[in-house]
Amino acid sequence: MKFLTGIPVVDGVVIGEAYLLDTENYAVTQRFVHPPTPAAAEREWARFQGATENAKLAVASELDENVREKRLTDSTAKIFHGHKEMFDDPSIAKYVRERVFESYWSPEYAVSRKLNSIRKQWSAIPILRQRLSDLDDVQNRWLQQLLGKKREGLRDLDRDVILIARDLTPAQTANLPLKWVRGFATELGGKTSHTAIIAQSRQIPAVVGVNGLTAVLGGGETVIVDGLEGQVIIDPDPGTVAQYRERQEKYERYLRELEELRLLPAETRDGARVRIFANIEYPEEIESAVAAGAEGIGLYRTEFLYEHGRPEPDEEEHFRAYSKAVDLLGGKPLVIRTLDLGADKFTPEGFADEQNPFLGCRSIRYCLLERRDVFEQQLRAILRVSAMGDVRIMLPMISSLEELELAKKIIEGVKLGLREQGVPFNEEILVGIMIEVPSAALMADVLARHADFFSIGTNDLVQYTLAVDRVNARVAELYQPTHPAVFRLVLQTIEAARRQGIPVSICGELSGEPHFALPLVGLGMRDLSMTSSTIPRVKRFIRSISALEAGRTIDKVLAQETATESLDMLLLRAQEIDPELYGSPAESLT
């Protein structure tokens, strides 16, 4: 029996036969056009163009089938629209054409060299490192067409299996036959990769980033994939299998209970009402968010409009995206975060060459200092949409009163322009800020007098407070949301908002972990915004506690001297409150 640990990306426990999937990445050695003549080069260039069109048709065909069969949602389907756009990337076509006509390289060698060069660039950028499997998908499709290879499939399976692979591309994940594939584990991958996102949308129990996984499996072994704890157990003994079967049954009962309470209010046993909102990236996610019990959208990320390969959006494209969200919400509030571009996200100009991009010209700084035209264009669209429903503006990465005042001045200027044009908008639209850098938390009493609401972005607040890059694996264990300094900054922000009488919410990942509901409610937080899939379990947890108990818990948490002590105390209490999710305090499955 062997235990391996990875990153849990989709909850669930599955037990079954390991099915080892060979990789389908193609190695292309240096090849040349033969004979090396302009006529032969023209013929090879035509072959590349034909392969490109065929690859695009293959993506479109699979996409249509997956959407029709409901294996993809509208938002996950956008991933494959991005793949199609890569086939039209003029820089790739230009490179291949030059290599074919000037160096007489074969088109398969040229495209392989170009995409490998892009891979090196992406590998150096944290957010794009999570998208390398997308690049593999595109390269495989191109080379399949050029080399005449068939794409490996799993459609001939006739038995239940657990898929084991070094990595899965988004297309492979979307096409997994769930009749037979009960779960999967991969050696590579991360929590925010497109493969993980698609697995979440299809609800396939999965663990990724399991080091050494394929080296210790040959296929056919019994394996357990625990998507709750991020464990893969190879050749478990009968006692371990029995324990995990019991855990599997408990989790299935737990899911049935969640379904029964998802539309009930998040109210503590002693009557404290907590409002639950959803974080989204695409308007298409709203339907599932409301179905999960969201009372509105607390964070609408708008950077998707600037995804790599897309032309820079105009005001009308912004307006269409936001108005669609308002329509889908049917009167529920929509908090639109203005653009958080830069750092690990694309800007219209690409990535800026900055030595410390997370400390550089990102987010509100980018909008105020470099691309005010982009900022004003987005604000015009948001204000126009505000005439249609309960829409609010949220400014990210505010670090000083000067930034907030300048942003508000620009908003007033945009309002003036709309008035002069006779364009309707909500004159009283709320303008809030995200508290996600220590300076904002420390100055919360001042900022509260100039903002209509606060939303605490714990992801960046933890990162900047502890000086830890949250996507750097080398220091990942130092990224500690339970650090006493983080809780103190959160408490200080809440108290400042309360004194000024403005609402305050949390929209970072912290709010989506049920065991954090206890200290957050204890701190006085009554608005939480999170990923839609986590809403039912957080709601269940809140309905299992009392606000009085939560207040006592936060007093104990704030008295701790280390993050480990705080986390251990919270997890132990969570086990007592919700043993179905966290396991009994006395239970050990390892």
Is 344 in contact with 125 (CB distance < 8 Å)?
yes
Name residue 433's beta-bridge partners: 395, 454
Q: How far is 92 from 85, CA to CA, in rounded Å?
A: 11
What b-and-e string marks burial along 64-73, b requiring 16 or more CB atoms within 10 Å of the CB?
A: eebbeeebbb
DSSP letter, residue 368: I
Q: Which of 505, 495, 395 is nearest to 442 (CA)?
A: 495
Burial of 30 (0-12, 13-18, 19+ CB in 10 A): exposed
CATH 1.10.274.10 location in the chain = 38-147
- CATH number, domain 263-582: 3.20.20.60
What b-and-e string marks burial along 469-502, b requiring 16 or more CB atoms within 10 Å of the CB?
A: bbbeeeeeeebbbbbbebbebbbbbbbbbeebeb
Could you please state the CATH topology (level 3) that the domain comprising 2-23+153-257 is classified under. Answer: Glucose Oxidase; domain 1 (3.50.30)
Is 497 in contact with 448 (CB distance < 8 Å)?
yes
Q: How far is 492 from 25, CA to CA, in rounded Å?
A: 52
Angle at 85 between CA 83 and CA 89, to 5 degrees: 115
Residue with tokens 């998707």, as numbered in its chain = 304
Q: Which of 295, 305, 294, 387 is nearest to 338 (CA)?
A: 305
The pLDDT value given to residue 385: 98
The pLDDT value given to residue 359: 79
Q: Which of 226, 246, 249, 234 is nearest to 587 (CA)?
A: 246
Distance of CA 260 to the CA centre of its chain: 27
Catalytic residue set: 194, 507
The pLDDT value given to residue 454: 98
Using DSSP's 3-state secondary structure scheme, residue 486 falls into helix
Q: How far is 485 from 3, CA to CA, in rounded Å?
A: 34
DSSP letter, residue 367: I
Using DSSP's 3-state secondary structure scheme, residue 281 falls into coil
Q: Which of 7, 6, 24 is nearest to 171 (CA)?
A: 24
Is 108 in contact with 28 (CB distance < 8 Å)?
yes
Is 503 in contact with 573 (CB distance < 8 Å)?
no
* Regions in the chain scoring below 50 on pLDDT: 584-590
The pLDDT value given to residue 587: 45
Q: How far is 520 from 525, CA to CA, in rounded Å?
A: 5
Q: Which of 455, 426, 424, 430 is nearest to 441 (CA)?
A: 455
Q: How far is 175 from 170, CA to CA, in rounded Å?
A: 9
What b-and-e string marks burial along 404-431, b requiring 16 or more CB atoms within 10 Å of the CB?
A: bebbbebbeebbeebeeeeeebbeebbb
Count the Cβ atoms, other than its own, within 10 Å of residue 188: 20
Distance of CA 206 to the CA centre of its chain: 16
The pLDDT value given to residue 273: 96
pLDDT tens digit sequence for 63-110 = 888 777 777 776 677 778 788 888 988 999 999 999 999 999 999 889
CATH 3.50.30.10 location in the chain = 2-23+153-257
Q: How far is 589 from 367, CA to CA, in rounded Å?
A: 50
CATH 3.20.20.60 location in the chain = 263-582
Output the CA–CA distances (angstroms, integers) from residue 150 to 26, 83, 92, 155, 252, in the order listed: 12, 19, 23, 13, 38
**Could you say which architecture CATH assigns to the domain 38-147?**
Orthogonal Bundle (1.10)
Q: Is this structure's pTM higher than 0.75?
A: no
Name residue 208's beta-bridge partners: 7
Is 538 in contact with 276 (CB distance < 8 Å)?
yes
Q: How far is 161 from 283, CA to CA, in rounded Å?
A: 35
